[in-house]
Amino acid sequence: MLFCFTVGVEGTGHHMVRALLHTQMQRDRFIDQGGWHEAMVTHWDPRTRHQKVNALQQDLKSVFQEAAQQGATHLYESASFPFNQPRDALRRPDILEFLSLTQGLVRCRFLVLYRCPKASTFSAVRRGFTDDVLKQARIVEANHRFIAQQLQQCPRESYRVLRYEDFMARPRDFQRALAEWWELDPFALALDLSRLKPSYPWDRVPKDTRAVLDAFFSAKKRALWEPAYGNSPLLDCVTG
């Protein structure tokens, strides 16, 4: 049984991945956001965290055992950094902790999303998560730094990085790579390529917003996290 976990800063392509998995998710042996979801969301929210780790691990063990008894082959979770409203940079998953919690219980493979931070910031603003562009940019920065630090300590075999812009340019290549990484039916994923929506054109972003984002996400600032995203690209898992 394989736990497939999509993680990434808000606006980096979670809906894109979910659209690609639409047909796959309709299959009986694929469980999307099962009993583990609420427990982990509560655990990773600083305002509601209360469960001790050993108790949480026992709860996860029970959930995974139940899924196995149902004949599940794949468990799926998707989480943004941060997750849910209102904007709170500290309400986010902990990749290293989840690997530790699930060790010996289920195989876990992360898909780590990356997108130009200017585009992902505006994506959150455009979808109404906030009207404060600079605040959202700071949230994006904080979470990119957090993810980069975690990836530096993660085993390379536990994650692959998918860059949004690369995927949109070569969807069929990445569809095949994702199928290999998560041991999915490549034909099922191919059926859903038509569900992908084009990116919002950058030249349609208001000029004043572009100016703020260009100034905030300087090359020196992006260099604080982008090297970590350069490791373990998704296409590396293609075998033939």
- Three-state secondary-structure class, residue 234: helix
Confidence of residue 115 (pLDDT cuts 50, 70, 90): very high
* Phi, psi (degrees; rounded to nearest 5) at 198: -65, 155
The pair of structure tokens assigned to 218 is 């300087």
Q: Has residue 24 been placed in a domain?
A: yes
Peptide bond into 117 cis (omega under 30): no
Q: Which residue has the higher pLDDT, 132 or 50?
A: 132
> Position 157: which residue type?
E
Residue 194 lies inside a defined structural domain of this protein: yes
According to the 3-state scheme, what is the secondary structure of 126-191? HCCCCCCHHHHHHHHHHHHHHHHHHHCCCCHHHEEEEEHHHHHHCHHHHHHHHHHHCCCCHHHHHH
Q: What is the overall mean pLDDT for the chain?
A: 92
87 pLDDT more than 90: no
Distance CA 175, CA 234 (A): 10
* 33-77 confidence digits (pLDDT tens): 898 998 898 888 877 776 677 888 889 999 999 999 999 999 999
Q: 73: burial class by Cβ within 10 Å (0-12, 13-18, 19+)?
A: middle
Q: How far apart are CA 10 and CA 80, in angstroms?
A: 5
In a domain, 240, yes or no: no
| Closest-CA residue to 159 (of 107, 203, 195) | 107
Cβ atoms of residues 174 and 237 within 8 Å: no
**Residue 64 pLDDT:** 95
Task: Please give the residue range of the domain that contains residue 48.
Answer: 2-234
Which is nearest to 135 in space by CA: 66, 97, 86, 95?
A: 86
Q: Is residue 34 part of a domain?
A: yes
Structural domain count of the chain: 1
Q: Average pLDDT for residues 111-130, to the nearest whole number?
A: 94
Contact 150, 161 (CB under 8 A): no
Query: Would residue 239 count as lying in a domain?
Result: no
Per the listing, tokens 């876990």 go with 108
pLDDT surpasses 90 at 138: yes
Residues 6+ apart with CB under 8 A from 211: none
- From CA 29, how far away is CA 98, in angstroms rounded? 22
CATH code, domain carrying 95: 3.40.50.300
Round to whole Å and give the CA distance between 239 and 105.
Answer: 27
Q: Is residue 91 part of a domain?
A: yes
Is residue 223's pLDDT more than 70? yes
Region of poorest pLDDT, from 6-10, 93-97, 126-130, 134-138: 126-130
Give me the pLDDT at residue 106, please.
96
Look at residue 157 and tell me if it is in a domain: yes
CA 47 to chain centre: 22
| 25 found inside a domain | yes
The tally of CA atoms less than 13 A away on the side-chain side of residue 12 is: 26
* Percentage of the residues of the chain whose pLDDT score is greater than 70: 95
